[in-house]
Chains A and B, each alone.
Chain A
């Protein structure tokens, strides 16, 4: 496909165009074609320009507080011209409480002060061609992590009652835990015992008691995946992979992203048993 075409527009009378200009330049650096309307455009002028220039996406910027009136008018003007399918993103000085209203009125996403231009560019790329973020689905559930006070005390149920095979016990200093792996089909249970008071597992136990702590997904190319997630604004606990048990590369995704479930990405080296 050709270059993504973007219209950056300043609706209303606001003259602050530092942000609009910086974003125009950043999107150009990301290989997009950017048309900037200049200041003081009415919603109708913006809709007309978008249609005339045949853009894929519109970016609106306002710092004057007129967004609640003007942004929805741009959407209306697009719909009136049968161009309601052009997505609109927006930014500027927008109080967070106004965001739901603007989304409801048809703005795809609001990027407020402090947003990174990379995140914006990747959002647009994904919006226009969703396959742009190209990640294979995880291969399997690598393990389910269960926080326990003591592996020694917990282990007998898993081995004796369930009859699972204990593969080994090791200390993972980077995470402050001792882990025991129990094989179950193509997957495993991972029992986690804190090594010290400041271990995250100890904090988990203090807060919630014993129980399921995380689910680990087996992936390829963990670093690429993390980079893409980062650019797409996916909240990560580890922006770079650390070394985990069995010399795997691991990184955690923030539980907010996955409906309260803590997900771990892990990648085992070629050849290592997994």
Chain B
């Protein structure tokens, strides 16, 4: 298969560069020879039909696959040109401290709202209450949740609505100043109003972090992302600026997918 990637050159600075990445679940070859750059301070969307490997790809960035036996990476993901995330000597825990993640279903811990956000600081051994208060307020403000929860920080996170819980998870992911935040279909379990608020939030976040988001919704990718990567059967088919990929796709499969013929 010819992979046509010759869109107009992406000019922003690369935050991460994926080079010849292959990934195996046991003997299943899930990702095949992926090469891609992740531009800094922008939103990059991964789209493609179910089972195309986009979530698998996303989870390579914070080494989530290391949690389960039998998974194997080949190739490299260079962070800031100097650290290979997949390097054998690299501690996945250190990677996850720099690259945080927001999941498909809101997964707050069975703790108070405050302690949920504090978790990322506590696992780093932070105990200074004043610094934590500051960081937590900042993270909750950025996640557009502060005004709704500032008077009930000690209540259980389970008292929040689904959309609020997901924004809480975003605050949790932001509190320890990550460089990249991975979003795995963050709005698929939410209603349209909560979805809109998360999308709005995401566009404000890129001043602080680089965002990589997996989404099932092409409309969502078109609305919020600066760059889009289309994946199919474990391969990266097309990557470029979102308006280019959607308006003048270079590859027939991309065109078929975004026009609704496959997927």
To the question of whether A and B form a pair in one complex, the answer is no
Measuring CB to CB, which residues of chain B are less than 8 angstroms from any residue of chain A?
none
